[in-house]
Structure 1
Amino acid sequence: MTPEGGSPEDADVPTGSTPLEVEGLRKTFGGIVAVDDVSFDVEAGTLTGLIGPNGAGKSTTFNLITGMLEPDAGTVRFNGEEITGLEPHEIANQGLARTFQIARELEEMTVLENMMLAPKGQIGESLWRSVMPITREAVREQETEQLDRVWEVLEFFEIDHLADEYAGNLSGGQRKLLEMARALLTDPDMLLLDEPFAGVNPSLEKRLLEHIHELREEGYTFLIVEHDMDLIMNNCERVIVMHQGRVLKDGTPAEIKESEEVIEAYLGGEV
């Protein structure tokens, strides 16, 4: 069951709409063109894969979408609003959350402490709590609600038994679960997952996929960067192939498999 406390069903993003629209993104580093006129959109409630060889521009595209980098040209719209140039936390507050290829949890804090930092709009951060008793009470009520939700999300990802463990002691797969759990606590409409299965053993990979599919059935939208071709082809409704900084092909898994252009340029003549 999807954790309560906020979901895509709360937002006015009907299935069939395109919450994420990327148009003409370009980014250069010195004389190197990392992303060159990249355009695509992602339909609400779907699993979309973004694939390509190393250096294709996938992670740079993610960074441009989520405000980690500023594009030289192009626009990004989310839920109909332009978010190009916004700070990462501003984009996250719009409902667009992401994970990273290398998990970025706070290693010297416990799993539970990491989770408690994730919810947005925490009134306990306000200076008013020090001078207004009613606000202190509101803070206590909110913290209780957030703690309940944190435990619910930890249970959903089956890491509640690790709540008191320091994040730095977790395995690579457990860190992936923690990072996705933290992202879910921001009440996103859409999640961008950067190599969520890298370094994950087969049993944890299966659990992650189950969680992703369950969340998708509840209405969440996913864009996933992944190198594992079989995993993307077997789990995504749509696949975007990047090559040398550009979108080479955009279509269903069947269309990608049948594309001579993709087979020649990326798959080495074999799917």
Structure 2
Amino acid sequence: MSDPDRPAAADGGTDAEESVDVEDPADGDGPTAGATGAAEEAGGGTDPAAGTADSATEEAARETPPSLSLQVDGLEKYFGGLAAVDGASFVVEEGSLTGLIGPNGAGKSTTFNCITGVHEPDGGTVVFEGQDITGFRPHEVANRGLVRTFQIARELEEMTLLENLMLAPRGQVGEKLTSAVMPGLRGRVREQEADMVDRVWETLELFEIDHLAEEHAGNLSGGQRKLLELARALMLEPSMMLLDEPFAGVNPSLEEKLLDRIHQLKDEQGLTFLIVEHDMDLIMKHCEHVIVMHQGTVLAEGPPAEIRENERVIDAYLGDEV
């Protein structure tokens, strides 16, 4: 492994995001607006047919369904005749922050396990970004960009945070013995490793744990381990993350930090999130769409405001018959 010392920032600082101004044709000052105005003047006005076409285009855009990251249809999983997941069906829109809630034993974690290949479903299908991944093994699911975390963080305790993150990316040239020992490939290994060290430092900084880079993961607090778990998942460059109770056992200040990072990744990188969480208020506050499971099936789904008022959801949480 290359020297883990943090590389110096160029020109004594960090790169800043560049802001690019894009002219809006609706402003009337941009080149598109000028050309349109000239054409109208020369032609004596706008073409009614063009207006009709524009209206049709706008109508079609409104009717276009949102892109889906994940589609779960009729998912089933049995353990000794007991239905842990019993025909669950739901979708997760691309770029969304979706919550998955339900009482203990509702089947939430088992659903996660079936989606990510930890358990093989006994029925139903799982489609991720248009590809059927039902029954894929965990590494095959992760290689396609669908990554999950666990209720209990599974860091490598005897390794530093830096080393934990260095192990995460797939496709590392140095993992192959021939690449590590052949003179013609060793340079490529060193080059890739240097680039990876840069990415690791950027990720540690994003989660504000770069000051712990050389600390053994086993020495972290519960909240810091959750930050490390999320950071390590991000090193896989996913397009969607499934987070299983990421806030359990986390103190309020670190919980807020975790939430900030999740929103930042969603807004700036377009990541899609599906979060299992018992804290209903937290889910209602931060998620755009909420799925409620009860006794292995989907009881209700919709915007938080609707879920709050749903009598069946209230009964499920209070223990009444649904």
- The answer to whether 1:202 aligns with 2:252 is yes
- Equivalent residues of 2:242, 2:275 under 8 A apart: yes
- The answer to whether 1:266 aligns with 2:309 is no
- Equivalent residues of 2:103, 2:316 under 8 A apart: no
Count of matched residue pairs: 257
Deviation at 1:267, TM superposition (A): 4.5
What is the rounded CA distance, in whole Å, between the counterparts of 1:133 and 1:24 in structure 2? 53
- Equivalent residues of 2:180, 2:189 under 8 A apart: no
- The answer to whether 1:134 aligns with 2:184 is yes
- The answer to whether 1:18 aligns with 2:86 is no
Find the partner of 2:306 among 234, 255, 262: 255
What is the rounded CA distance, in whole Å, between the counterparts of 2:96 and 2:279 in structure 1? 19
Larger Rg: 2
What is the rounded CA distance, in whole Å, between the counterparts of 2:90 and 2:184 in structure 1? 48
Find the partner of 1:174 among 224, 246, 250: 224
What is the rounded CA distance, in whole Å, between the counterparts of 1:168 and 1:86 in structure 2? 31
Deviation at 1:130, TM superposition (A): 4.3
SS of 1:19 mapped into structure 2: strand
What is the rounded CA distance, in whole Å, between the counterparts of 1:127 and 1:104 in structure 2? 27
Structure 2: segments with no counterpart, 5+ residues: 1-13, 18-64
- Equivalent residues of 1:243, 1:266 under 8 A apart: no
- Equivalent residues of 2:158, 2:216 under 8 A apart: yes
Aligned to 2:28: none
Deviation at 1:132, TM superposition (A): 3.0
What is the rounded CA distance, in whole Å, between the counterparts of 2:202 and 2:317 in structure 1? 42
What is the rounded CA distance, in whole Å, between the counterparts of 1:179 and 1:193 in structure 2? 10
Aligned to 1:231: 282
Deviation at 1:127, TM superposition (A): 2.5
Structure 1: segments with no counterpart, 5+ residues: 5-14
Over residues 74-96 of structure 1, what are the superposed CA-to-partner deviations in whole Å (9 max), with x where a residue is unaligned? 11111111111111011000000
- The answer to whether 1:60 aligns with 2:110 is yes
Aligned to 1:96: 146
Q: TM-score if structure 1 supplies the norm length?
A: 0.92
Opposite residue 265 of structure 2, the aligned amino acid is L
SS of 2:94 mapped into structure 1: coil
Find the partner of 1:50 among 100, 111, 114: 100
Aligned to 1:190: 240
Task: List structure 1 runs of 4+ shifted beyond 3 angstroms.
Answer: none
Over residues 85-130 of structure 1, what are the superposed CA-to-partner deviations in whole Å (9 max), with x where a residue is unaligned? 1110110000001100000011111111111100111011123224
Over residues 120-166 of structure 1, what are the superposed CA-to-partner deviations in whole Å (9 max), with x where a residue is unaligned? 11011123224532311110000000000000000000001111111
- The answer to whether 1:87 aligns with 2:137 is yes
RMSD (Å), alpha carbons: 1.6
Aligned to 2:8: none
What is the rounded CA distance, in whole Å, between the counterparts of 1:78 and 1:118 in structure 2? 21
- Equivalent residues of 1:241, 1:249 under 8 A apart: yes
- Equivalent residues of 2:100, 2:291 under 8 A apart: yes
What is the rounded CA distance, in whole Å, between the counterparts of 2:181 and 2:238 in structure 1? 32
RCO higher in structure (CA 8 A, sep ≥6): 1
- The answer to whether 1:124 aligns with 2:169 is no
Deviation at 1:261, TM superposition (A): 1.1
Opposite residue 260 of structure 1, the aligned amino acid is E
